[in-house]
Structure 1
Amino acid sequence: MASAEKICQLLSQKKADTIELKKAAGLYGNQLLIKKVKGYSGAGEDVFINTLKEIIETGTIKGRDEYNWKLVKEKLPEINQLLNYIRSNNRVFIEEVKAIIQPYLPKELKAAAKACFLAGGGSLGFTIGNDPSFNVALQKIGDDIKGLQYLVAHELYHSLQDIGQSSRVYQKDDKKITYPEKATYYLLYNLWAEGIANFVGDMAAIKDLKEFSKEQAGQYQKNRARRYQNFQLLEALLYRQYHDSTANYQATYDIGFSTAFDETSYFVGYEMAKKIAQHQGNEAIAALLVKDPIRFIADYIALYQKLADDQSFVRFSRSTEEIVSRLLAWENKL
């Protein structure tokens, strides 16, 4: 929590020297925050320091506020309240998060993960590359402890997915995968990762919804209502990525999985995970943690084909099923 605490301390001051700001930027969690923000906006450590100094000394930021300092400053009382709660109730907080994710973990999984609570940036939560930490930003949470726990569960599950994937046994294949195949495979990887994490951290399960969790639960309800359209959008993205060698992976990813388009593919994966759990139990979701991510969509397709009379499933088109069938040739090879 040192990174968030330092930012809160600095924003409660009227002045900060460059040395102190550089030390704050160098803290472990803030370094991860800088990597994340720089990745989507180009605003690196210099912007972190300069804009933080500007808001400390002037109370505002005139230009682009890539690190969201104005919101952090506005929400300082709530952020400090959350930090105090976590500090005072650390063991209970951790046990309650564990209880959320435990049904979706294979018994044989041995793992440790590090949580970083941050203040700043545009993302609610994120992981960075192979770093074992998961990161949660506090400025949008308010006083919603339960909402925070479910958000932590979502991000923690991503760290556990990475650990589960590292335990897989890979097979060598002399055949070279094409760019369209690889790009489409990684879209399905993200469908697995985000869809199941969304299912695990489903805030609709919270009985006493507060402002943050109510807003998040509303996203689930909105996307539940447009699930057929969400599936069709994902299918269009998969089809073009697989069949058009000029299709740019990052541009396709941004349409399906970024906040610019409401992360609609997160909710496609959520619907799929919900159906798998409904018919095959939570242990089927747990098993997917250590399997090739391509199995997620393959198992979903196999499930609705088996239950041909069940009209509650959203089914993929034949062309999508064929793409998945072809990509299964790369199972445990990527």
Structure 2
Amino acid sequence: MKNHSLRRSLLLFLSGMLFPVVTVLAAPGLQVIVDAESAKANIALLGKKQVTDQELNDAAALYGNQQLIAKVKSYSGAGKDVFISTLKAMIIDGNIKGDDPYNWRSVKAALPEMKQLIGQIDANSASFIEEVKNSILSYTPAGLDITIKACFLAGGGALGFTIGNDKTFNVALQKLDNDFNAMKLLVAHELYHIVQAEGQSMRKKTITGKDPYFLQATAALLENLWSEGSANLAGDFAGFEGKSAFAKEQTAEWAKNADRRRENFALFEAVLYKSYYDTSAKRYEQHYNICFSTAYDETAYFTGYEMAKAIVKYKGRKALADLVLADPANFIAAYIDIYKSEKDSRLIRFDASTEAIVAEMLQRSREWVKP
């Protein structure tokens, strides 16, 4: 998803509130806590002309802003001190000299739209969460018992993200152009990532930090292919009719990648081949960026999305749900099985070398099970 920055890195293998929090019981086994308090606090502060250090520190301590600070610091190095100093400058001076890693200028410009969007979230928390939950329920395995926090933020450069080990996803409201319906699709994408993470935590890990780098890197690429592709289907913008700039940007991304499906598949194959067979190289970060970062249009999101659509079409939604509990290599293996058994000219076939990598990864995972 455009500007979506959820990142499952190789490191995963190596290793009193101002505003009320709304709890929504979406369904048995799935509880969603809607938390917009940090967004409300930041919006209120940016509407002022003066601010105290205590107010700034109180804002920085809010859960959502702690998530925001951790995320911005992870890619820019700008931590709590920069959060406070730049927010203070924006409030008192109306501008920031130099870098604005927390995007306060954009937040300030979007204050009216953000207030309206938060009003809609507050007024419709139960119904909108229920609607989003129902949209992903058929892609979710039975028996998962999860309490999830949906954290709405004001600030930062990421549209949506998770960070750390909390069962929390974060959405930046200043980027949504007050488009409540488009926001539902983004929330579905992020919510499904928490479902995926919970499912993966329940299975026995077959490739760990003790295994060779090339295996860890290849497994990470396959995990991202599955997780982002399936989440793109969960929050599918194909055919979405929205008039906001945000909605138009998302639908344009879907259309562009639909037009270059074959090139997207070929690019992922080339990166996967390099990752698996060049055992002396350590290039996972670059390979991740080529396939999954906004700098290169997150092309592998859409490769995985095409595969997820095929799995649902030919094997049913339960098949996609079952993959939440499986080694991610099974996702691409399921797709390979489909194009070998179905006569559908729209299905893009992988090269034999890619099929061999997938077969070897599945075989290794079965042989190298750790206690």
TM-score over 0.5 for the pair: yes
Q: Distance in 1 between matches of 2:84 and 2:128?
A: 32
Identity over aligned pairs, percent: 52
In structure 2, what is the equivalent of residue 125 of structure 1? 160
Q: Distance in 2 between matches of 1:209 and 1:304?
A: 37
Q: Which moved more, 1:239-248 or 1:9-18?
A: 239-248
Q: Distance in 1 between matches of 2:222 and 2:243?
A: 32
In structure 2, what is the equivalent of residue 206 of structure 1? 240
What whole-Å deviation, never above 9, does each CA across 1:196-255 have from its counterpart, x for those lacking one?
001110022534554322221111111010111111111111111112222321111111
Question: For structure 2, which runs of at least 5 residues remain unmatched after alignment?
Answer: 1-35
Q: Check conservation: 1:118, 1:137, Cα contact below 8 A.
A: yes
Q: Check conservation: 2:169, 2:194, Cα contact below 8 A.
A: yes
Q: Distance in 2 between matches of 1:189 and 1:142?
A: 31
Matched position secondary structure for 1:148:
helix
Superposed displacement of residue 20, structure 1: 1.4
- Where does 1:209-288 land on structure 2 (aligned, <5 Å)? 210-244=244-278, 245-288=280-323
The count of corresponding residues between Structure 1 and Structure 2 is: 332
Letter in 2 for 1:191: L
Letter in 2 for 1:163: E
Q: How much is the aligned-residue C-alpha RMSD, in angstroms?
A: 1.8
Q: Where do 4+ consecutive residues of structure 1 move more than 6 Å?
A: none
Task: Tell me which of the two structures has the higher relative contact order, counting C-alpha pairs closer than 8 angstroms and 6 or more residues apart.
Answer: 2
Matched position secondary structure for 2:152:
strand
Of Structure 1 and Structure 2, the greater helix share is in 1
Q: Check conservation: 1:240, 1:247, Cα contact below 8 A.
A: no
Matched position secondary structure for 2:238:
helix
In structure 2, what is the equivalent of residue 184 of structure 1? 218
Change (3 A) 1:213 1:99: farther
Does residue 3 of structure 1 match 2:38? yes
Letter in 2 for 1:195: G
Normalising by structure 1, we get a TM-score of: 0.95
In structure 1, what is the equivalent of residue 78 of structure 2? 43
Letter in 1 for 2:228: E
What whole-Å deviation, never above 9, does each CA across 1:293-327 have from its counterpart, x for those lacking one?
111111111111122x4211111111111111111
In structure 2, what is the equivalent of residue 93 of structure 1? 128
Letter in 2 for 1:110: D
Q: Check conservation: 2:207, 2:215, Cα contact below 8 A.
A: no
Letter in 2 for 1:98: K
Superposed displacement of residue 170, structure 1: 4.6
- Where does 1:86-165 land on structure 2 (aligned, <5 Å)? 86-165=121-200
Change (3 A) 1:260 1:274: same
Q: Check conservation: 2:207, 2:216, Cα contact below 8 A.
A: no
Superposed displacement of residue 291, structure 1: 1.2
Letter in 2 for 1:22: N
Q: Check conservation: 2:225, 2:303, Cα contact below 8 A.
A: yes
Q: Check conservation: 1:106, 1:283, Cα contact below 8 A.
A: yes
Normalising by structure 2, we get a TM-score of: 0.85
Superposed displacement of residue 99, structure 1: 2.0
Q: Check conservation: 2:45, 2:91, Cα contact below 8 A.
A: yes
Does residue 317 of structure 1 match 2:327? no
Letter in 2 for 1:99: N
